[in-house]
Structure 1
Amino acid sequence: MRIEQKATLISTVIAFLLVAFKLTVGIISGSVAVLASAIDSLLDMVVSLFNYFALHNSDKEPDEHFNFGRRKLEPLAAVIEGTIISLSALFILYTAISKMVQGSVIEHLDLSMGVMVASLVITASLVLFLNYVAGKTGNMVIRADALHYKTDLLTNGAVLISLVVITFTEYTFIDPLLGIGISVYMIYSAYPLIKEGILMLLDAALDPESVGKINKLLNTQIDISGHHDLRTRRSGSDIYLSVHVVFSISTSLYDAHMVGDKIELSLKNLFPENTVYALIHLDPYDDSEENHIEKEH
């Protein structure tokens, strides 16, 4: 088993333990903020499971059923994760508003604070471990997982601060107010996940900066007279692109093929953190206008 997969399994187990602790204490104490943190940890567990599933299956070699592999599992998981996070945030928002209207009573504050302190220590240790794995492997999924748990440190810290404030001031309205804040933050965090996942599933082009880098590389190739019809897309951590490169009509097929291989290697080196699949069309003359007319008709 790869170290990335081990990391996601460790994240899943730790998230499960945090869910059990926080959920039990949240129900006993009646704290919306602790319950919100428990649901957040539950989502962390789901995210880690999805990451393990994505890493385990997306690396499988293409076969007769999936000729281009299974990299789309990663954006599909991101959309599902983002949707679950958003729905859970709406539930937390509803619960917090209800408690604010009806009034809330929080009991066993010492127990609630204890579980949040333990959560901070455990989550901080997990972040350090995930950062180590991400630095060693360069895996983007693990880096995203580490970033996700870093945000948990902030929410856990905010919950702990609110419980301390309530202990000394008895301002219990702070608890549902923080629950509202956490729910809004969760929706805000989920939106980029859903957006990026949907764009990737729809084969959206690479960002303008990446496309600009590709065009700049192609424009500096002295062995070709031009290029056109550049198309790009991303699938998981893989990049797919196709482009027509134009040669002189007197260039031999052998020479054109060698130049095409050189350009393909340069494109792969342009994105060292990704696997690049480049399809280079070798044109003996510039047929871009002809292709444009065919598309119009």
Structure 2
Amino acid sequence: MRIEKKATVISTSVATLLVIMKMTVGIFSGSIAVLASAIDSLLDLTVSLFNYFALHNAEKDPDDNFNYGRSKIEPLAAVIEGTVISLSALFILYEALVKIAHPREMEHIDISIGVMVVSIIITSFLVLFLNRVAKKTGNMVIKADALHYKTDIISNGAVLAALGLVSMSGEQLFDPILGVCIGIYMIYSAMPIIKEGILMLLDAALPEEEIETIKTILQSDKAVTNFHHLRTRESGSHVFISVHLVYNVSISLYDAHLVADKLELKIKEHFKEKKAHVLMHMDPYDDSEINDAEDLY
């Protein structure tokens, strides 16, 4: 099993444990903040299960129906995860506003505080693990999952602070006010996840610094006199690069192919954390103007 899939199994198990703890205490205590955190953990569980499904299918080999594989399931999963976070945040905002309008007293505050402390400790270990996996693999789904649980630590800390303030002051409004803050922060955190996933689904080019690195590699061999039509895109853990290499007209096809293979290997070494697919078209002269004209039609 790939380490990414193992990570989703672990995050699913942790989310299940947190849902049971928080939901039980949230219902009996009447705390909107704890209940909101429980709902967030329930969505974490759903998302982690979906992430496992996404990674399982994304790693399948290309076939007759999916010639380029199913790697775009990964950014699709990230967009869905970001959307789920946003929807859960809206629900939390609604519940918090209802409690502000119709205050009700909390019970079992000490137990609620204990559950939130345990939740923060468990989630912190999970985030450290997911960050390590994300850094090692560069996987977008794991990166989104790590960010999701990182926001949980902050929201859980806010819930703990709210419970502490209610316990010390007896003022019940601290609970729903912190719930509003949590909801707003969750929406703010979800936006980058959704944006990155959508850009990847739309085949946005690689970041400018990566493109500059590719250009430097292409210019590293003197046999290549020029290049054009450099195009890049990213799909989950896969990177796709195509380019036209211009050679001197006297070069043999064999030698041109050897140069292209060498440059392709250098590019793949640069993207060693991902699966790079490099397509190089070999031109005996610079036909960029002809290619540009054809692109207009």
Question: When the two structures are superposed, what TM-score results if normalisation uses the length of structure 1?
Answer: 0.93
What letter corresponds to residue 138 of structure 1 in structure 2?
T
In angstroms, what is the RMSD of aligned CA positions?
A: 1.8
User: How far has the Cα of 1:132 moved from its partner?
Assistant: 5.6
Partner SS, residue 66 of structure 1: coil
SS at match of 2:177: helix
1-structure distance, mates of 2:105, 2:82: 32
- Residues 154-195 of structure 1 deviation map (CA, whole Å, 9 limit, x = unaligned): 221221121011101112111111111111111111111111
Q: Does 1:121 align with 2:121?
A: yes
Q: Which moved more, 1:176-185 or 1:16-25?
A: 16-25
Deviates further, 236-245 or 120-129: 120-129
Mean CA deviation greater in 215-224 or 157-166: 215-224
- The residue aligned with 2:228 is 228
Q: How does 1:212-291 map to 2 (within 5 A)?
A: 212-291=212-291
Report if the CA contact (8 A) 1:46-1:81 is conserved: no
- Match of 1:70, SS state, is coil
Q: CA deviation at 1:253?
A: 0.7
Equivalence for 2:18: 18
Shift of 1:134: 5.2
Deviation at 1:144, TM superposition (A): 4.3
Match of 2:5 in 1: 5
The 3-state SS of whatever aligns with 1:171 is coil
Unaligned runs of 5+ in 1: none
Q: Is contact 1:4-1:139 (8 Å) kept? A: no
Percent identity of the aligned residues?
Answer: 60
Cα distance in 1, alignment partners of residues 2 and 254 from structure 2: 41
Q: How does 1:27-38 map to 2 (within 5 A)?
A: 27-38=27-38
Q: Which amino acid aligns with 2:190?
A: A
Aligned to 2:192: 192
Structure 1 residue runs of 4+, over 6 Å off? none
Q: Which runs of 5+ in 2 are unaligned?
A: none
Shift of 1:133: 4.9
Task: Decide whether aligned partners of structure 1 residues 75 and 133 sit closer, same or farther in structure 2, where only a CA change above 3 A counts.
Answer: closer
Aligned equivalents of 1:46, 1:100: Cα separation in 2: 29
Structure 2: how far apart are the matches of 1:295 and 1:121?
A: 56
TM-score (norm 2): 0.93
Aligned to 1:138: 137
Aligned partners of 2:288 and 2:46: how far apart in 1?
A: 48
Deviation at 1:126, TM superposition (A): 2.6
Amino acid at match of 2:269: N
How far is the alpha carbon of 1:139 from its aligned partner? 5.2
What residue number does 1:148 align with?
Answer: 148
What is aligned with 2:206?
A: 206
Change (3 A) 1:164 1:78: same
Separation in 1 of the partners of 2:144 and 2:76?
15
